[in-house]
Amino acid sequence: MNILGIETTCDETSAAIVGLDGEGGAVIRANEVLSQIAEHAAYGGVVPEIAARAHVEVLDRLIERALEQAGTGLDDLDGIAVAAGPGLIGGVLVGLVTAKTLSLVTRKPLLAVNHLEAHALTARLTDGLAFPYLLLLASGGHTQLVAVKGVGDYVRLGGTIDDAIGEAFDKAAKLLGLGYPGGPEVERMAEAGDAERFALPRPMLGRREADFSLSGLKTALRVEAERIAPLAERDVADLCASFQAAVTDVVVDRARVALRAFSGVAGHPTALVAAGGVSANGAIRRALAALAGEAGLAFVAPPLALCGDNGAMIAWAGLERLRLGLTDDLTAPARARWPFAERPSAAVAG
């Protein structure tokens, strides 16, 4: 089985081929990813119009390269999977129209994948993980703690009420005059910094619900930076280290609360999983691995190449859905917003 996966929801254009080996294990046969960081860096964030045009210019070529690397042709595919949202609507449309065209021409099943669901299922692509498991999905636009019970069966245990974690890192980097994307820059500077120099808050720490709030932490960082301005390089490093430590403490506390709530909605988890671009952060990975160890669980995070947006995760989610007969027709819509997990009822959650 071979599935083509197309990802164009934000500022990475990607095409991948994922299949199964003779024993039913996942195989990434190709995963072509083209980042647009250089195009957006001058603006300090993603410009939707620029992103959509860039997808149009390169997507066909990336699909050709993925097919060539996988040693397969369009007629040999078993399905066409595409991220149909959530994301920047212009980019989503580029990928979805391309996938619909290929599906129509080749008569292969169309699989309109929720981009967030693809992140949620990546642990099964890389580690063959069994359901159910607790997922921390953390990226530039999303922060959620989710009980992953099965394909299409997700319960949101907590989420952010303001900034996503990746968004907070980007804003912190911009405030401190660092480059874009901000997450890797803050992490790089934090390695040389003193995390105890600034007493930054840990919002929502100890709350019963597994929700996040990061706007207050961001404001506290700005207040400290303004208090000691002008900033020397050492000041920036210490601010980054203090900020990263605060985020990490919040993530661990919120995940601990979600682990306590998990049994009420999904039984005993097989693992604690981190996915999304923020899962590439080393400090957060190490802290979550320690938490999983305390709970007697495995900790699973994708290889760094699969933390960000990529076509392989879309192809795998499509493959998972195809095996269950969950295909789509050519009326599948492009969605700027598309929740993939809902809160449980208060009675169940309590």
Summarised one tens digit per residue, pLDDT across range 29-59 is 999 999 887 788 777 778 889 999 999 999 9
Q: Tell me the mean pLDDT in the region 221-243.
A: 98
The residue type of 16 is: A
pLDDT for 349: 41
Residues 18 and 97 in one domain: yes
Residues 18 and 164 in one domain: no
Q: Which residue has the higher pLDDT, 38 or 93?
A: 93
With vertex at residue 244, the alpha carbon angle to CA 239 and CA 249, rounded to the nearest 5 degrees, is 130
Residue 348 lies in a domain: no
In which band, very low, low, confident or very high, does the pLDDT at 345 lie, cut at 50, 70 and 90? low
Largest CA distance in the chain: 63
Q: Tell me the mean pLDDT in the region 109-114.
A: 98
Q: Tell me the mean pLDDT in the region 323-347.
A: 87
Residue 329 lies in a domain: no
Residues 228 and 166 in one domain: yes
Q: Tell me the mean pLDDT in the region 55-77.
A: 97
Residues 115 and 134 in one domain: no
pLDDT for 347: 34
Q: What is the pLDDT of residues 236-289, one digit of tens each?
A: 999 999 999 999 999 999 999 999 999 999 999 999 999 999 999 999 999 999
Token pair in block for residue 77: 């595919």
Rounded to whole angstroms, the Cα distance separating 196 from 66 reads: 47
Residues 148 and 219 in one domain: yes
Residues 105 and 66 in one domain: yes
Residue 30 lies in a domain: yes
Residues 146 and 12 in one domain: no
Residue 28 lies in a domain: yes
Closest CA to 217 of 226, 206, 228, 204: 204
Residue 338 lies in a domain: no
67 half-sphere exposure, CB direction, 13 A CA radius:
15
Per-position DSSP letters for 179-241, written without gaps between them = -SSHHHHHHHHHTTS-TTSS----TTTT-SS--B--HHHHHHHHHHHHHSPSPPHHHHHHHHH
In which band, very low, low, confident or very high, does the pLDDT at 172 lie, cut at 50, 70 and 90? very high
Residues 260 and 148 in one domain: yes
Residues 313 and 299 in one domain: no
Q: pLDDT exceeding 90 applies to what percent of the chain? A: 89
Rounded to whole angstroms, the Cα distance separating 175 from 332 reads: 40
Residue 330 lies in a domain: no
pLDDT for 15: 98
In which band, very low, low, confident or very high, does the pLDDT at 348 lie, cut at 50, 70 and 90? very low
CATH number at residue 16: 3.30.420.40
Query: Which domain covers residue 244, as residue numbers?
Result: 130-304
Residues 220 and 295 in one domain: yes
State the total domains in the chain: 2
Residues 10 and 92 in one domain: yes
The residue type of 292 is: A
Rounded to whole angstroms, the Cα distance separating 6 from 16 reads: 7
Token pair in block for residue 315: 């192809």
Lowest mean pLDDT across 91-100, 179-188, 192-201, 249-258 = 179-188
Per-position DSSP letters for 289-318, written without gaps between them = HHHHHHTT-EEE---GGGTS--HHHHHHHH
Closest CA to 29 of 318, 302, 261, 315: 315
Residue 134 lies in a domain: yes
Token pair in block for residue 347: 């009675």
Residues 53 and 182 in one domain: no
Residue 180 lies in a domain: yes
Q: What is the pLDDT of residues 75-90, one digit of tens each?
A: 999 999 999 999 999 9
